[in-house]
Amino acid sequence: GIDVSFDQYPYVAGSTMLGVILPPWVHDGGTDKVLERLANPELREKMIYDIENGIPGWDNFVEFAGLDGIFVTSVKNEKNADAIGLNLTQLGQLRGKDAYNATFDLLYEEENAVGMVDFYGTEEHVQLFMKRPEMNCCTDGLLGGKPHPRVFGAFPRILGKYVREDKALTLEEAIYKMTKKPATTFNMTDRGELKEGYYADITVFNPETVIDKGTFTNPIQYPDGIEFVMINGEFAVMNGK
């Protein structure tokens, strides 16, 4: 008697703040305590030990993505801009020290405000979940800094790559999972369909050209192939603008 669904964005990499690689105890007490602990060489050794040996119940990003699968995407200070686009192994090489301490230094200098993407999935997995009837299309996007390309490209990527190119979904299935299905999931009774009396949420796109353009290093790019977007009967995009 339970309705089950899940949301998915169509990329093999995730995105969050780099501080998630630190064990949970490091975050106890907030950012000031994080910086205090990062400044302590003995506690750094404990951090490395816990990352490499695991703590039960913790999503250990280094364990499932690897130091070479986690890339820096944003920093606050210009002096560390050379770290953007590097994985943590490369960051260590650039700084002339081991990857862990180079990362800890970066987090300390940036007051824990470092963005990252982590590559942990495979295209096979993306398509496996995408085809499930429980799936809702989503962006899971965090705005600000250098975001994950999903912020600008999640839905166009499904339509261009996974419908048109890979044929993992039919166009009808994809549209349903972007509109009617999530509306039903969240009990929105007046959205998700083109019907009289419903809110006029309408997207007009070219199925032959629609595609995402953002990359992990240059994510802030609008997609191609979307001509008109109407929200609540008001134009948000007209003639691609």
How far is residue 119's CA from residue 12's CA, in Å, rounded to a whole number? 6
Name the band, by pLDDT with cuts 50, 70 and 90, for residue 180. very high
Task: Output DSSP code: residue 87.
Answer: B
How far is residue 126's CA from residue 20's CA, in Å, rounded to a whole number? 23
Ranking 63-77, 102-116, 223-237 by mean pLDDT, the lowest is 63-77
Instruction: Tell me what pLDDT residue 8 has.
Output: 96
Instruction: Tell me what pLDDT residue 207 has.
Output: 97
Instruction: Tell me what pLDDT residue 56 has.
Output: 81
Task: Output DSSP code: residue 206.
Answer: -
The string of DSSP codes covering 132-180 is: STTEEE------SSS--THHHHHHHHIIIIIIIIS-SS-HHHHHHHHTH
**pLDDT of 11 higher than 90:** yes
Contact 91, 102 (CB under 8 A): yes
Contact 117, 73 (CB under 8 A): yes
Instruction: Tell me what pLDDT residue 141 has.
Output: 83
**pLDDT of 218 higher than 90:** no
* Cα-based torsion angle of the residue sequence 25, 30, 35, 37 in order, rounded to the nearest 10 degrees: -30
**pLDDT of 118 higher than 80:** yes
Sheet holding 13-17, edge to edge: 13-17, 115-119, 70-74
pTM across the whole model: 0.79
Instruction: Tell me what pLDDT residue 55 has.
Output: 82
Instruction: Tell me what pLDDT residue 154 has.
Output: 97
Name the band, by pLDDT with cuts 50, 70 and 90, for residue 49. very high
**93's tokens:** 């090489």
Instruction: Tell me what pLDDT residue 217 has.
Output: 75
In this prediction, residues 202-224 reach a mean pLDDT of 94
Mean pLDDT across the chain: 94
Summarize pLDDT for 53-85 with one digit per residue, the tens.
988 888 899 998 999 999 998 899 999 999 988
Longest Cα separation, the chain: 66
User: Which carries the bigger pLDDT value, residue 181 or residue 85?
Assistant: 181
Summarize pLDDT for 139-171 with one digit per residue, the tens.
998 777 678 899 999 999 999 999 999 999 999
